[in-house]
């Protein structure tokens, strides 16, 4: 079991003169974390190397980002100080937490899945290769430049880092990226279709979904095709592979998109099996949801469309009838090939569930 570290434990380490050393898998109380942050700020060194005592703090404010923006050309000592700072540590912990959630929800298998957070002009903290997201530790994290060169970290960076970096280069708003293989959303990626829209509010507000064609994972071509979609989409289905999301806020929001698209895909597959007509949003209802989405700063290719154009023109709509009047600009009708592919996958999923 992980050891719980309190402020008293840290004070005891300092008193004993042994220095502060926190095991990687230790649980740290919020006040102990603040205490460590203040120690580091006062000493100008990493908490684990701090030997001097400092006053305890009860504030719960998260560590502040560095005042000076770093880049890949910054002196190594500055990059190291940053990488070992309480702020960078808090980002590494967030990645670990999201990794644990991905694993618990079975969105990743083996060493699958990877994440990155932009931390400067052209540098990012990312997950290592060949580590299960279920057992990620802050000390596993890597610092890379935007060409994918590893700058710091003892483990080797993920082999899929190029895609994350190409997304960040193409989409300046992308602060954090998350990639994994949630089964139902990945099923749509295998069928090469975006899920139909106009059915659930969370999906409409949080996700804008595009589909990128298949390329070998980790190849520059894969990253390029995904990156091109980030102008209009924050959730990208990677054909025959999985899903990647980005957020302009933080890694948790990029992770939320995974939960939302996966739950949505699962729900509409089941809804399509009920043998009842599926109700969809009207144009005005969709417009309201898109207004909320725009106010949250998310991207969507449908902003600015007329209400009558918002009704889904997707290739697969299980039992749903379009609520909007037909318009010359709206593509209607089903693609029999796509429908057959989805039906085959749906049958497979359902037979596994039985
Ligand atoms: Zn993958």
Report d(CA 95, CA 126) in Å as an integer: 8
Give the pLDDT confidence score for residue 53 in this predicted structure: 37
261-283 burial string, b = 16+ CB within 10 Å, else e? bbbbbbebbebbeeeeebebbbb
Helix (H) or strand (E) holding 11: helix 7-16
Give the pLDDT confidence score for residue 328 in this predicted structure: 41
Q: pLDDT digit of tens for each residue in the chain (354 aa)?
A: 556 666 667 676 766 666 677 777 776 765 666 666 666 655 544 444 433 333 444 456 788 888 888 999 999 999 999 999 999 999 999 999 999 999 999 999 999 999 999 999 999 999 999 999 999 999 999 999 999 999 999 999 999 999 999 999 999 999 999 999 999 999 999 999 999 999 999 999 999 999 999 999 999 999 999 999 999 999 999 999 999 999 999 999 999 999 999 999 999 999 989 988 888 998 899 999 999 999 999 999 989 888 777 775 555 566 555 555 444 433 334 455 656 666 676 677 666 655
How much distance in Å is there from the Cα of 111 to the middle of ligand 1? 9
How much distance in Å is there from the Cα of 161 to the middle of ligand 1? 10
How much distance in Å is there from the Cα of 185 to the middle of ligand 1? 13
How much distance in Å is there from the Cα of 238 to the middle of ligand 1? 9
pTM (2 decimals)? 0.73
Backbone phi, psi, residue 116, to 5°: -150, 150
Query: Edge-to-edge strand order for the sheet containing 176-180?
Result: 150-152, 142-145, 123-126, 114-118, 176-180, 242-247, 235-238, 209-212
Backbone phi, psi, residue 31, to 5°: -70, -30
Per the structure block, which two tokens stand in for 16?
């004993």
Report d(CA 72, CA 52) in Å as an integer: 32
How much distance in Å is there from the Cα of 306 to the middle of ligand 1? 37
How much distance in Å is there from the Cα of 243 to the middle of ligand 1? 8
Give the pLDDT confidence score for residue 330 in this predicted structure: 38
Give the pLDDT confidence score for residue 285 in this predicted structure: 92
How much distance in Å is there from the Cα of 176 to the middle of ligand 1? 16
Give the pLDDT confidence score for residue 337 in this predicted structure: 63
Give the pLDDT confidence score for residue 314 in this predicted structure: 56
> Residue 254 in contact with residue 127, Cβ under 8 Å?
no
Backbone phi, psi, residue 12, to 5°: -65, -40
How much distance in Å is there from the Cα of 174 to the middle of ligand 1? 19
Give the pLDDT confidence score for residue 171 in this predicted structure: 98
How much distance in Å is there from the Cα of 244 to the middle of ligand 1? 9
Going by C-alpha positions, the residue among 43, 69, 58, 67 that lies closest to residue 7 is 58
Going by C-alpha positions, the residue among 63, 78, 165, 153 that lies closest to residue 122 is 165
How much distance in Å is there from the Cα of 241 to the middle of ligand 1? 6
How much distance in Å is there from the Cα of 221 to the middle of ligand 1? 14
How much distance in Å is there from the Cα of 165 to the middle of ligand 1? 15
Per the structure block, which two tokens stand in for 120?
């400067």
How much distance in Å is there from the Cα of 160 to the middle of ligand 1? 7
How much distance in Å is there from the Cα of 138 to the middle of ligand 1? 21
Give the burial class of 250: count Cβ atoms within 10 A of its Cβ; 0-12 exposed, 13-18 middle, 19 or more buried.
middle
Report d(CA 349, CA 165) in Å as an integer: 33
Farthest-apart Cα atoms in the chain, separation: 78
How much distance in Å is there from the Cα of 322 to the middle of ligand 1? 34
CA 175 remoteness from chain centre: 10
How much distance in Å is there from the Cα of 114 to the middle of ligand 1? 7
Give the pLDDT confidence score for residue 24 in this predicted structure: 72
Going by C-alpha positions, the residue among 245, 304, 279, 260 that lies closest to residue 113 is 245
CA-to-CA separations, 115 to 227, 291, 317, 325, 353, in angstroms, rounded: 15, 29, 32, 42, 29
Report d(CA 172, CA 35) in Å as an integer: 34
Give the burial class of 242: count Cβ atoms within 10 A of its Cβ; 0-12 exposed, 13-18 middle, 19 or more buried.
buried
């Amino acid at each position: 079991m992980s050891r719980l570290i309190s402020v008293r434990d840290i004070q005891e380490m300092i008193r004993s003169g042994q220095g502060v050393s926190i095991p990687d898998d230790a649980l740290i109380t919020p006040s102990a974390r603040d205490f460590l942050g203040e120690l580091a700020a006062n000493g100008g060194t990493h908490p684990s190397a701090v030997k001097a005592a400092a006053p305890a703090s009860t504030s719960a404010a998260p560590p502040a980002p560095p005042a000076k923006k770093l880049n890949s050309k910054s002196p190594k000592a500055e990059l190291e100080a940053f990488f070992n700072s309480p702020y960078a540590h808090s980002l590494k912990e967030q990645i670990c937490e999201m990794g644990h959630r991905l694993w618990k929800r079975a969105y990743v298998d083996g060493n699958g899945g990877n994440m990155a957070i932009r931390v400067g002009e052209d540098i990012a903290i990312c997950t290592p290769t060949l580590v299960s997201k279920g057992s990620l530790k802050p000390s596993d994290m890597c610092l890379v430049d935007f060409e994918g060169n590893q700058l710091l970290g003892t483990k080797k960076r993920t082999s899929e880092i190029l895609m994350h970096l190409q997304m960040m280069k193409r989409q300046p708003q992308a602060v954090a990226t998350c990639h994994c293989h949630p089964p139902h959303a990945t099923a749509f990626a295998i069928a090469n279709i975006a899920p139909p829209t106009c059915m659930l509010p969370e999906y409409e507000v949080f996700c804008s979904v595009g589909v990128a064609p298949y390329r070998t994972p980790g190849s520059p071509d894969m990253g390029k095709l995904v990156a091109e979609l980030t102008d209009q989409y924050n959730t990208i289905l990677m054909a025959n592979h999985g899903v990647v999301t980005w957020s302009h806020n933080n890694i948790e929001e990029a992770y939320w998109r995974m939960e939302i698209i996966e739950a949505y895909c699962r729900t509409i597959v089941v809804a399509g099996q009920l043998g009842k007509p599926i109700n969809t949003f009207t144009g005005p209802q969709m417009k309201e949801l898109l207004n909320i989405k725009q106010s949250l700063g998310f991207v969507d290719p449908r902003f600015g469309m007329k209400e009558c154009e918002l009704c889904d023109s997707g290739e697969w709509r299980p039992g749903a009838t379009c609520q909007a009047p037909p318009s010359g600009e709206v593509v209607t009708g089903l693609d029999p090939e796509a429908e057959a592919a989805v039906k085959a996958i749906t049958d497979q999923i359902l037979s596994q569930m039985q």
